[in-house]
Amino acid sequence: MKRGVWLASAVALFTSAAPGPAHAGRDDIPGRVVFARGGSLWLTDARGKSKAVEVATLPAGEVRLIRTDAGGGTLVVEIGGRWYSAALPTPGAPPATLAELPCGAGPARLSQTARFVLCASPDGQARLVRLGDGKTFDRAAPAAATSLVERDGVRRLVWTETTETNVVKAAPLAKLADEVVLAPEAPVRGFLAAPDGSRGVGVYRARPLKPAGAPERDELFGFALDGTTGRRRLIRDGVVIDWSWDSRWLLVQDGDKACIARATGGQFKCWKGYTAVSIAPDGAWALVLGTRSDATTGGGDAEEGKGKGKGKGEEAEGDAEGEGQAEGEAEGGEEELDGAIALPKGPMSLFRAKLNGPYTEKPALIETVVDGAAAWLPATSTSP
């Protein structure tokens, strides 16, 4: 490709603005996608129509996760159990080289404006890494159950404390001694707070709504982080991969189904035979991995649902359960690793799954050949 044509394509990918709502064409999807292939990270538009541009070179290893800040200007990448970061290069600049972060094995997420990465210390405690100078700040809280939230310009750590009080607590970064209780009972596992700190999700032991007298089991719930005890059932056996940046939607893996679910319950869509890897900032789209045979046959199944049933008190305020699954029976499938889902084996393709619409559409192909995870970026990069 001639350099002028390549540069025009790259500029469009890096700086494309969201389409006007009144006359946007059906192919105008406000987003960009970063994906792993052949030892590099590549950037393309969310339709998968533009020629992909190389944006970073990778060390050897499986790319299990790619995450970004709300503006889409910074990436953190998990490769072979280690975390790396890089700023997205400007158009025409050479691909970035990832810098390894001082993080141990476990989850990692960027703050809203990419100033901090929250990850695990070598002993599994919560660690903040300030990207500007690499300075680290450790907190005596389990990294796997700690979130970094930001609301009204105030950053706070939110974590579960289960050694003595079994509650969900929070404290501002500026004064971590000022702890407050946000939920009087902590989940047994899988806690993750919304980016704005308004809600949390996690797995609780609970008695199912039916049949009567059934024993307690693990179920996924959502709840407000306001000190109350009310909880709402979500996709029963789902594993939450991530929140949308608007704090309204969840990316969930339910056995062999990738799902987008409303955080307050009552609405979800799932795509059977796919693995969830990323969600759009407004929850309108998900990136999912499937087999390359799906890329040519349009394979995979879709389902949608709305919450059913009502309860009171601590048990539930409602629930959403996928179809085709017997009550009390958990689907197996993907292996849960530090809050992430093991990637499918064999040749993979990358697809775009759509939340909106009266019907559940099969995921649309973005890239036929990918070698790992992917991330959805907003249409414009506003991060510093």
Give the pLDDT mean for 310-333.
34
- The predicted structure's pLDDT at residue 19: 35
Residue 345 pLDDT: 85
pLDDT at 178 over 90: yes
The rounded distance, in Å, linking the Cα atoms of 342 and 119 is 19
8 Å CB contact between 379 and 71:
no
The percent of residues above 70 in pLDDT, for the chain, comes to 80
Q: Distance between CA 8 and CA 160 in Å, rounded?
A: 48
78 versus 50: the higher-pLDDT residue is 78
Is the pLDDT assigned to residue 59 strictly greater than 90? yes
For the chain, what is the mean pLDDT? 83
Specify the range with the lowest mean pLDDT, choosing from 116-120, 155-159, 325-329: 325-329
Predicted local confidence at residue 203, as pLDDT: 96
Over 90: is that where the pLDDT of 296 sits? Answer: no
State the Rg of the chain over Cα: 20
Highest average pLDDT, of 10-19, 25-34, 231-240, 342-351, comes from 231-240
At residue 97, what are phi and psi to the nearest 5 degrees? Answer: -105, 125
303 confidence band (pLDDT: 50, 70, 90): low
**Confidence band (pLDDT; 50, 70, 90) for 317?**
very low
pTM value is 0.84
Contact 105, 120 (CB under 8 A): yes
Segment 266-276, tens digit of pLDDT: 899 999 999 99
pLDDT at 118 over 80: yes
pLDDT at residue number 312: 29
Please state, in angstroms and as integers, the Cα–Cα distance from residue 127 to each residue in 145, 161, 173, 227, 246, following that order. Answer: 12, 16, 12, 25, 24
**Residue 183: pLDDT above 80?**
yes
pLDDT at 91: 86
Neighbour-count burial for 49-87, b at 16+ CB within 10 Å, e otherwise: ebebbbbbebeeeebbbbbbbbbbbbbbbbbeeebbbbb
Answer yes or no: are the C-beta atoms of 191 and 107 closer than 8 Å: no
pLDDT > 90: percent of the chain: 66
Hey, what are 99's tokens? 């810098």
pLDDT at site 179: 94
Determine the average pLDDT of the residues in 277-306: 78
Q: Is the pLDDT of residue 323 over 80?
A: no
Q: Are 170 and 141 in contact (CB under 8 A)?
A: no
How far is the C-alpha of 165 from the C-alpha of 91, rounded, in Å?
51
Q: Indicate the length of the chain as a whole number.
A: 384
pLDDT at 27: 53
Burial 24-38 (b: 16+ CB within 10 A, else e): eeeebbbbbbbbbbe
DSSP structure string for 68-100 = E-TTS-EEEEEETTEEEEEEPPPTTSPPEE-EE
Q: What confidence score (pLDDT) does residue 344 get? A: 85
**pLDDT band of 4, cuts 50, 70, 90:** very low
Q: How far apart are CA 15 and CA 43, in angstroms?
A: 12
Counting DSSP H helices and E strands in the chain, the numbers are 2, 32
pLDDT higher at 196 or 335: 196
Least confident of 126-130, 325-329, 355-359: 325-329
- Strand order, beta sheet including 96-97: 96-97, 53-57, 40-45, 32-37, 374-377
pLDDT of residue 180: 95
With cut-offs at 50, 70 and 90, classify the pLDDT of residue 294.
Answer: confident
User: Is the previous residue joined to 211 through a cis bond, with omega within 30 degrees of 0?
Assistant: yes
Domains along the chain?
Answer: 31-341+355-377 (2.120.10)
End-to-end CA distance of the chain: 31
Residue 258 has pLDDT above 90, yes or no: yes
- % helix / strand / coil in the chain, to the nearest 5? 5, 45, 50
